[in-house]
Amino acid sequence: MSKLNVEQITKEIIERVGGKDNIVSAAHCSTRLRIVLKEDSLIDAEAIAEIDGVKGSFNNGGQFQIILGTGLVNQVYQEFLVQTNLSEVDKEELKEIATTKLNIVQRVLKALADVFVPILPALVASGLLMGLNNLLTAEGLFVSGETVIGAYPQFADLAEMINIFANTAFVFLPVLIGFYAAKIFGGTPVLGAVIGAIMIHPDLLNGYDYGQALLDNAVPVWNIFGFEIAKVGYQGTVLPVIGAAFVLAKTEKVLRKFVPMMLDNIITPLIAVLFTASFTFIAIGPIMRVVGDWMTNGVMWLFFELGPLGGAIYGVVYPLLVITGMHHSLVTSEMQILANIETLGGSPTFAVVAASNVAQGAAALAVFFLFKKDVKMKAIASAAGISALLGITEPAVFGVNLKLKYPFAAALIGSAVGSAYATWMEVLSLSQGPAGLPGVIVIRPQSMVQYMISLGIAFVVTFAVTVLFAKMSRKKIN
């Protein structure tokens, strides 16, 4: 693409987002130009869609993102900086700028997502190791009536070793969360890890045994100045350590306003850890444990009490939340379910999210076949459809399906049917992963076939309904 075309594309983008005076900052990723604007109401999304090279756009997390594709986005971004006289920033700096535009609820949800994203590789690795352990210990999977280690005892120690490796990230999850949560909230990451470690110290009653101890009236306590504080750990929880990390970060910031610089490295960590750890066992932990249990129980009730109907509801609601960015609110309950994976057997939500993503991809690919002469729409729909099948749905949702409306409606139907089937078949995941076709790697071995069938159902139903809706809409298909 020539320099002249890049200049024209950039000029048109600037004009249609409200002009230079409406632009706060900009960055880019591998395919998208990301812009933070003063007033989103000045965006002319329909006009932007007509610009040469633009494959779609959407607004998420305080950023207006324009999909340009690999290569072109780099050229447009450099020209964008020239025409707007902005300084170059990276994605993380742009996120910080964009955060100032969000309301308190959106900021909380964004903070939760930011805490968990860096931890996902560890959980994915643990999930895959659990899957490998299941292959060795699942009865009848490879050997009729027996497990692999039953038929070949020489693999027993290998299975035990893999099981330890697989459980480690979940056993020490509060440490990982404490580290990154403290970092996100502006505290010292290693002190966040210390708080997380304190919360699962082996001298505490194991959090998994807390329920039975309550029933037996045998919960151990500390007696501090006449006050009894439950001596209970927080294994298998998520929200308590996030709350503790938030208090830690705020405590550090307050202390640094008063502690002399020469004593900061001694006094601040001492008081911050002592105060935060004490307050965690007195108030933060007990309160946030209850909130976390409510969230988890709500999700589990939806799936295990309502069954396929609950799965269908989740499958319809999830893509609606994606549009607003509110789907990040589901991360916390998902992580808490995974933290209790040995008790619950796995998470039912992953397969539903994957079915929803595949449905969006199927709708976009149906549009690719329907629009025979619209070269631009075909190019956007094909790339977006394949991306959605792999777990990235924004290009399909915002660039194709919502724009035409009926493909998005068809995707909701396909998602509901595929999700209902996955829930009916009790398809459970062992960890987070790519929520699409590649996601089969994090599914329990005994559920892998049913996982692929549920995605196939979501795809076929969505594709067929999209074609049907296109004919019923009586709109000209080019």
Are 315 and 418 in contact by the 8 Å Cβ rule? The answer is yes
Are 277 and 241 in contact by the 8 Å Cβ rule? The answer is no
Are 347 and 422 in contact by the 8 Å Cβ rule? The answer is no
Looking at beta carbons, which pairs linking 94-101 to residues 24 or more positions away fall under 8 Å?
94/25, 94/26, 94/27, 94/34, 94/36, 94/63, 95/61, 95/63, 97/24, 97/25, 97/36, 97/62, 98/36, 98/61, 98/62, 98/63, 99/62, 100/62, 101/36, 101/62
Are 35 and 18 in contact by the 8 Å Cβ rule? The answer is no
Q: How many residues does the chain have?
A: 478
**DSSP assigned state of 87:** P
Tokens standing for residue 408: 């998005």
Q: What span, in angstroms and rounded, lies between the C-alpha atoms of 25 and 392?
A: 25
Burial label, 293 (beta-carbon count in 10 A; 0-12, 13-18, 19+) = middle
Is residue 29 flagged as an active site residue? yes
Q: Which of 333, 322, 329 is CA-nearest to residue 299?
A: 333
Q: Which among 1, 19, 20, 29 is annotated as catalytic?
A: 29
Q: What span, in angstroms and rounded, lies between the C-alpha atoms of 55 and 77?
A: 15
Are 360 and 411 in contact by the 8 Å Cβ rule? The answer is yes
- Rg over alpha carbons for the chain, rounded to the nearest Å, is 25
Which residues are known to be catalytic?
29
